[in-house]
Structure 1
Amino acid sequence: MCKESTRILLIGNCYYSVFRFRKELIQRLIKEGYEVWTAFPNGEHDEQERGEETAKEYGCHFIELSMSRRSMNVINEIKYIVQVNKLIKAICPQMVLLYTIKPNLYGGLLSHLHRTPYIINVTGLGSAFNRNRIIAWVLKKMYLVVMNSSFYTFFQNEHDHEYFNENINHRNVKVLPGSGVNTEEYYLQPYHDGDVVRFLYMSRVMKEKGIEEFLQAASYFKDYPNIEFVICGDCEECYEERLQQLEKEGNVHYLGQISDVRCVIKDSDCIVHPSYYNEGISNVLLEASSCGRAIITTEKSGCKEVVDAGKNGFVIPTRDSHELIKAIKRFIDIDREQKIAMGREGRKLVEKSFDRNKVINEYLKVIGMAVQQ
């Protein structure tokens, strides 16, 4: 099999999972001579059909899928499975790259049935594993079937690797440094001028990402001079009215979904990510650190790996607004030069351990192994 005849299909759960976090991999594959196809549900985060436009820009193909990321409606799941089956059958890829839980499980099973080698990337266990023990048990069994049939399995943190490891029957497994971060695109940002200390939450506005703890902290510091709390990210319906009310009261500033977060990171002093979601490695923390900003996050796997406590940020227990408030106070109390120094330590950490080129090189190595076979 030669590169020129090799079609590679990437399946993710939204625009961001494919074209934001795998952009450099796609571009490198195309440069290496592979024919690249991408597939995901369009418009999940108000992308407004950007999938097709971005595919044209990069020189790859795009197929739109219909999928509900969280729903377990049987009819919708069957429809999605039928779509993916038709897609694999029509394209006849020589390799399938899968990301996030539903593409991993359904895409993996279908690739196996079509005798197509595939690589799965466990980008975190997500909220599904927290629902109840029966669902978690079923999902683990399904994942093990897919992992044991895969050409290769990538994990993004050691916790997830250990959760499955004793039941994986082959050695084609590796832990990656998350999705990595493009340190050239997320370059070291100059520190803003002014007396305001600005704390930024830049994630999906949902309970498991720690929005409750962030809002409680914002309320606590409401009357403190020169302290601001800013939120950007896709908002779950249940929080829309509440954010509007809190903004009217002056507790927070909500910016909505921001396509290029570098501008809001630049104007911030510290990124707060109090998540207890089952992350792979938090892209929020990687991007913030790469831009040279201090971080406050939790001891949850997928978050704690990006913090050298006291050097580039602070680590707190999950679901603990009191400890978050104490960490914010600590950050407020240090002088400007110390704040800048913490951000620079974060930049050093991602340059050393989380550069996206490390991830790309691992994928190219594994895909090369498949091509040679």
Structure 2
Amino acid sequence: MKKLKIFFTANVLWDIYIFRYGVIKALIGDGHEVVVVAPVDERIDFVEELGIKHIPINLSMRGVNPLKDFNLFLQLKKIYKMEKPDIVFHYTIKPNIYGTLAAKISRVKSVAILTGLGYSFVEGGIVSNIAKLLYRFSLKYSKEVWVLNSDDKEALIKQNITSSEKIFILPGEGVDTFKFSPKEKVENSELNFLMVARAFYDKGVREYVEAAKIIKNKGYKVNFLFLGALGGNAANGVDKLKMDEYVKEGILEYLGHRKDVDAVINASDCVILPSYREGISKVLMEAASMEKPIIASNVTGCKEIVDNGINGYLVNVKDSDDLADKIEKFIGLSLDERISMGKRGREKILREFDEKIIIEIYRRKLWNLR
């Protein structure tokens, strides 16, 4: 196969590192030139880690200022015309919209990867309607549109955003089953429940907190940990003041934002994600791969990973009481039952979501799209 110049463009450099590191490393190993396009992030140095080029861009992640968004389009158009990549993989909403248009004008092939439509996108609202309008216009110019689950595919078709023929379902972004493998750990004297997510309420933070209160009020001596970046000033974000309040009340232990997610998962007994909607949850896959039982909302992007009662429990979305019931049910399991649940989760990940499967899909698609 001809060696290609492949671009990965997203709004957060950290996301490229966390979700696509294995794919990028494999493509470099195949002899391709890979370039990452995203804003600067001091936590990540792709040049140092993989020896690949990083082109920084400026963008407003959640803003709707048309001048700033047009500036993103101009930045990407200039980069693509100068660099002349063979293909660009776009991730996240603004690169998908403005990057696809920039690639079209620059005569560059591109693929739009919608890693999750998001709860607000599906539910509607002014911003959501604007996004849908822009998607309908821009996605006409991508070679393919990838989604991570069948529900997102149906939503795009139903809302006439793109055609069925153009959509491909990528079965998640895979998990490194070697890195996220079962590891020996000291058994905790108290059970540790862990939530890993950005601190946004549509990730289920409120339900996690309320369920933790219910469990603690019943007298159970267990710990509820939270790992992930704070939501800052975002409308649905949990800021430092609010997180400090949860910690001060003794509801949560906040672990901050760390790179050693595997070590934190290993120290936990069960991973929880009460999200309102996902593309497909990376952390649930990682936890299951490490033989940790998982509890998650019965929604798109979570239900594909949790086999209820087999490798974890599904709960009703936005239902703190149901979440507390499932946590209490888990507490009541014997150690052998928890171990068996975790082992079944690992088997499912190896069968359906191993990163090796995703890498082969990228390779096959590059051959077809070249």
Both structures adopt the same fold (TM-score exceeding 0.5): yes
Residues 191-234 of structure 1: per-residue CA shift (max 9 Å, x gap): 54133111101111110000001111222223524311111100
Do 1:13 and 1:102's aligned partners in 2 also have CA atoms closer than 8 Å?
Answer: yes
Equivalence for 2:157: 165
Residues 66-101 of structure 1: per-residue CA shift (max 9 Å, x gap): 122211122321222221111111111111111111
Q: Secondary structure at the match of 1:201?
A: strand
Q: Does 1:151 align with 2:151?
A: no
CA distance in structure 2 between the partners assigned to 1:192 and 1:136 by the alignment: 46
Do 1:191 and 1:340's aligned partners in 2 also have CA atoms closer than 8 Å?
Answer: no
CA distance in structure 1 between the partners assigned to 2:239 and 2:43 by the alignment: 26
Equivalence for 1:259: 259
Map of 1:278-317 to 2, 5 A cutoff? 278-317=277-316
Q: Does 1:70 align with 2:68?
A: no
Equivalence for 2:227: 232
Residues 10-38 of structure 1: per-residue CA shift (max 9 Å, x gap): 10121232122111211122122211111
Structure 1 gap segments, 5+ residues each: none
Map of 1:179-218 to 2, 5 A cutoff? 179-190=173-184, 192-218=186-212
Do 1:152 and 1:366's aligned partners in 2 also have CA atoms closer than 8 Å?
Answer: no
Identity value in percent? 32
Q: Pick closer, same or farther for the CA change 1:267–1:82 going to 2, 3 Å.
A: same
Do 1:17 and 1:99's aligned partners in 2 also have CA atoms closer than 8 Å?
Answer: no
Q: Secondary structure at the match of 1:348?
A: helix
Which of 122, 126, 131 is equivalent to 1:139? 131
Do 1:40 and 1:64's aligned partners in 2 also have CA atoms closer than 8 Å?
Answer: yes
CA distance in structure 2 between the partners assigned to 1:250 and 1:56 by the alignment: 40
CA distance in structure 1 between the partners assigned to 2:273 and 2:57 by the alignment: 31
Which of 9, 12, 15 is equivalent to 2:10? 12
Q: Pick closer, same or farther for the CA change 1:317–1:342 going to 2, 3 Å.
A: same
Do 2:69 and 2:98's aligned partners in 1 also have CA atoms closer than 8 Å?
Answer: no
Q: Pick closer, same or farther for the CA change 1:229–1:351 going to 2, 3 Å.
A: same
Q: Which amino acid aligns with 1:25?
A: V
In the TM superposition, what is the alpha-carbon distance from 1:354 to its structure 2 partner?
0.6
Q: Secondary structure at the match of 2:151?
A: helix
Residues 15-66 of structure 1: per-residue CA shift (max 9 Å, x gap): 23212211121112212221111111123xxxx252xx22332121101111
Q: Does 1:115 align with 2:114?
A: no
In the TM superposition, what is the alpha-carbon distance from 1:161 to its structure 2 partner?
0.7
CA distance in structure 1 between the partners assigned to 2:301 and 2:132 by the alignment: 19
Q: Secondary structure at the match of 2:27?
A: helix
Do 1:157 and 1:175's aligned partners in 2 also have CA atoms closer than 8 Å?
Answer: yes
Do 2:196 and 2:228's aligned partners in 1 also have CA atoms closer than 8 Å?
Answer: yes
TM-score w.r.t. the length of structure 2 is 0.92
**CA RMSD in angstroms, aligned pairs only:** 1.9
Greater displacement, 146-155 / 341-350? 146-155
Q: Pick closer, same or farther for the CA change 1:301–1:310 going to 2, 3 Å.
A: same
Q: Which amino acid aligns with 1:343?
A: G
Q: Which amino acid aligns with 1:268?
A: S
CA distance in structure 2 between the partners assigned to 1:82 and 1:256 by the alignment: 35
Q: Does 1:80 align with 2:75?
A: no
In the TM superposition, what is the alpha-carbon distance from 1:107 to its structure 2 partner?
0.8
Q: Which amino acid aligns with 1:227?
A: V
In the TM superposition, what is the alpha-carbon distance from 1:259 to its structure 2 partner?
1.0
Residues 272-316 of structure 1: per-residue CA shift (max 9 Å, x gap): 10000x421011111111111011110110111100000111111
CA distance in structure 1 between the partners assigned to 2:187 and 2:127 by the alignment: 50
Q: Secondary structure at the match of 1:36?
A: strand
Do 1:104 and 1:120's aligned partners in 2 also have CA atoms closer than 8 Å?
Answer: yes
TM-score w.r.t. the length of structure 1 is 0.91
Aligned length: 362
CA distance in structure 1 between the partners assigned to 2:22 and 2:153 by the alignment: 25
Do 2:215 and 2:328's aligned partners in 1 also have CA atoms closer than 8 Å?
Answer: no
